[in-house]
Structure 1
Amino acid sequence: MAISSSQPSRFLSLFTILVLCFSLCVAEIRFSEIRSDDRSIIPFDEFGFTHTGRLELNVSHISLSNPNPELDLSQVGFFLSTRDSWIHVLQQIQDLDITCALQSDLVKVVYTFDRLKGAKSFDSMFPENEANQFTLVFANCLQQLQISMDVRSAMYNLDGKSGRRDYLSAGVTILPRVYFLFFLVYFCLAGLWIYVLYKKRLTVFRIHFFMLAVVILKALNLLCEAEDKSYIKRTGSAHGWDVLFYIFSFLKGITLFTLIVLIGTGWSFLKPYLQDKEKKVLMIVIPLQVVANIAQVVIDETGPYAQDWITWKQVFLLVDVVCCCAVLFPIVWSIKNLREAARTDGKAAVNLMKLTLFRQYYIVVICYIYFTRVVVYALVTITSYRYLWTSVVAGELATLAFYVFTGYKFRPEAHNPYFVIDDEEEEAAAEALKLEDEFEL
């Protein structure tokens, strides 16, 4: 029996989630194992083709739970579809114009199982000359038919001049150069920070060395990512470099969140220790980051064909958001403590300047989190597949701006303007505190 008309809404929801959750398409050569799966739709990889696109599909060890020769196996097979086409296909099914997605003239059928003729494997080379972004999908329109198979899929574009294979999607093929360029920027930034620490070595705190470590880890992460994407571009496989990329991503993520917590609590600037509640934030954020990194590895290694892929993706996004929100609490606590201290210890001007600094940092952290977690993902969904690299550039520029702002505001200074005051300034600050409204989130 084919897909019923009551199912399109479920398929539309599934495909919509996939569209929103897909990050930048890398589409390395994928090896997928399907075991006793009765799903009607199994999405594989998404890829941006040029006019010289190719799909290599190698399927082996095919096994059907019901090998009845009377089954209409033309309703089981692989096809390519764009996002817009899939919505219209669902409408066709709902209007009963067709009973299976493979029957639609809006999709590009790659292979249907009625061509097997009893074979247990097949190899298919499908040329794709339409420049667009397609998703490789497996459809099983027969109810209660479970399928097992091993799938090797490879999507690539051929270079017009050399004829070499490019396994990176059309919209992200320049990412190796983008990541390497940002690596050079952070490398220069680390060198500049080392120079500043040397020149101001008498006023350097431990936090400044920690900031240097964060910048170096970010640079190494970008270098590994550049080489990782370059290796995928040439070979379709990321094995080897992806391990280093995951390691540096893990270290960079933990150190960045730790740095935000330490600066937000005034560690090394206002006090040489962390309070118990601030330590608890670190104890929460760091394990959550570990979970987030494990989830990311699982997502990258399995791909969207896995039954729990969407769940893992949602867990990863949720954990990431929780970590981002958790690091804001220490900053809020520090701001409130400074306000209370400014009213009681007679150092109104000093604490007002500290309060101003930490308020600015709080706002910048919020803007950084909002831009990199919301705006960048929005760019991925609304940008044409040809320009998906722009969302990477936007996210990296925002991160670079955040690093530069943090380094500039909390740089080592012999005569820090936030602490050098006179009596008139203190009196003016005391009056300002009386007139200032209570700080609110």
Structure 2
Amino acid sequence: MAVPGAFVSSILLLLASAAVAEIQFSEIRSDDRPIIPLDDFGFTHRGWLELNVSGIALSKAGLELGNLGFFLCTRDSWLNVLKELEEEDITCALQSSHVKHVFTFEKLGQRTSFDVEFDQEDANQYTLIFANCLQQQLRVSMDVRSAMYNLDGKSGRRDYLSAGKTILPRVYYLFSLIYFVLAGLWVYVLYKKRLTVFKIHFFMLAVLIMKGLNLLCEAEDKSYIKRTGSAHGWDVLFYIFSFLKGITLFTLIVLIGTGWSFLKPYLQDKEKKVLMIVIPLQVVANIAQVVVDETGPYGQDWVTWKQVFLLVDVVCCCAVLFPIVWSIKNLREAARTDGKAAVNLMKLTLFRQYYIVVICYIYFTRVVVYALETITSYKYLWTSVVAAELATLAFYAFTGYKFRPEAHNPYFAIDDEEEEAAAEALKLEDEFEL
């Protein structure tokens, strides 16, 4: 059986992702794909799979139904299956000894539904896959309900969160508490320095609150999934606050990059255009996130939406850097012409630092965290979440500290010697490479 590259990519992408499993409902309609990935889960030694399939309809009768069925497969096993298929040692993934058979349709008989409970004692991260080795002859329709869970060692209760993700509710609760504390401290700072507060500082407060609410909803979402296998509506609130958090954060970076509010009370046309690009892209990114999370990997466009989300996120990250670059260039030009070299040199240094920190934050949360997810054992996937949240917390703290309201602005307390030294520094300084 030849497996197209799109299906290879979808399974590898699913296995490499840090998806949090829950009870999944998949509707497959007149589908002739050879491989349909359904769900992903990290099992302990006390893992179980409940598979309920109903409404089975085949486009043809009288075919060898042993070539249709469900199986579990790890990432390493899937690579071995692909190798066997390429070398023509087997003609169907179900024939491989590297997969764990859950149910094949030869056992179906005249029924149009079946229920299976599968005891998974081998601890590892598995993907539930449906294989149709008769894809050129047969289209399949069915409704699939899959529930994968681990039994708690002490109480025996079901835990629907993947091994390595089961402590995520506590992680998100902790970080949400930290952000609410930071929001309270920021309110105190704004009150104490109210004479030098700008509009941007209130916007920073809004970003902190959105981030805290986003984490709180995510904690509740994962907590309900852990206990019941369903989010009970918390996923809707999570998507709402995730959308608001994303828009406010990217908008804040753009506004700080332009120097809006504390350097100038207006936005230039090109800076407005950046916002007009970033905000719609964030809308698209959140739509893609909802589609990816809610449809599941069985959807035929799942890989496409996943790629759209990653692409749009990268474009947004690149777009927010332009206003910082423009501010740096404007400050360099102003420092050479308006006779306030020391003032502009301090501003220039601040924006350079912020530019570097934004790049480091984007690189770490988009590249390093993904690498951690890929190379870390499935038992410790929570570490990538902690790493991403710590990096985000550090970024928020740096932004708040560097752009906090100042009662005595150091820019206005510069003597002649500092002015002359700054002017000389600007003359000797090499061009800043962006």
Q: Is the structural similarity TM-score above 0.5? A: yes
SS at match of 1:364: helix
SS at match of 2:131: strand
SS at match of 1:149: strand
1:187 deviates by 1.2
2:119 is the counterpart of 1:131: no
Task: Trace 1:372-387 onto structure 2 (pairs within 5 A).
Answer: 372-387=365-380
- Alpha carbons 2:54, 2:112 under 8 Å: kept: yes
SS at match of 1:67: coil
Cα 1:208–1:10 shift into 2, 3 Å? closer
* Other-structure match for 1:298: 291
* Other-structure match for 1:16: 12
- Alpha carbons 1:186, 1:215 under 8 Å: kept: yes
Percent of paired sites with the same residue: 82
- Alpha carbons 1:48, 1:171 under 8 Å: kept: yes
Q: Quote the Cα distance in structure 2 between the aligned partners of 1:32 and 1:279.
A: 43
2:390 is the counterpart of 1:397: yes
1:26 deviates by 1.3
**Which residue of 41, 45, 53 maps to 2:35?**
41
1:8 deviates by 7.4
1:371 deviates by 0.5
* Residue deviations 1:358-406 (CA, integer Å, cap 9, x gap): 0000100010011111111111111100000000000000000000000
SS at match of 1:120: coil
Q: Quote the Cα distance in structure 2 between the aligned partners of 1:342 and 1:14.
A: 53
**Which residue of 98, 123, 128 maps to 1:106?**
98
* Other-structure match for 1:75: 67
1:14 deviates by 4.3
Q: Quote the Cα distance in structure 2 between the aligned partners of 1:114 and 1:39.
A: 19
Residue ranges of structure 2 left out of the alignment (5+ in a row): none
Cα 1:183–1:115 shift into 2, 3 Å? same
- Alpha carbons 1:299, 1:313 under 8 Å: kept: yes
1:17 deviates by 3.6
**Which residue of 236, 251, 258 maps to 1:265?**
258
Cα 1:290–1:125 shift into 2, 3 Å? same
- Alpha carbons 2:14, 2:40 under 8 Å: kept: no
Letter in 1 for 2:49: L
SS at match of 2:57: strand
1:94 deviates by 2.4
2:318 is the counterpart of 1:318: no
**Which residue of 179, 192, 196 maps to 1:199?**
192
- Alpha carbons 1:60, 1:149 under 8 Å: kept: yes
* Residue deviations 1:92-137 (CA, integer Å, cap 9, x gap): 2223322211111211100000001111000000010111100000
* Residue deviations 1:277-306 (CA, integer Å, cap 9, x gap): 101101110011011111111111100000
Query: Structure 1 length normalisation: TM-score?
Result: 0.96
1:52 deviates by 0.7
SS at match of 1:99: coil
Q: Quote the Cα distance in structure 2 between the aligned partners of 1:105 and 1:180.
A: 43
Q: Quote the Cα distance in structure 1 between the aligned partners of 2:385 and 2:412.
A: 39
- Alpha carbons 2:15, 2:40 under 8 Å: kept: no
Q: Quote the Cα distance in structure 1 between the aligned partners of 2:310 and 2:5.
A: 24
Query: Structure 2 length normalisation: TM-score?
Result: 0.98
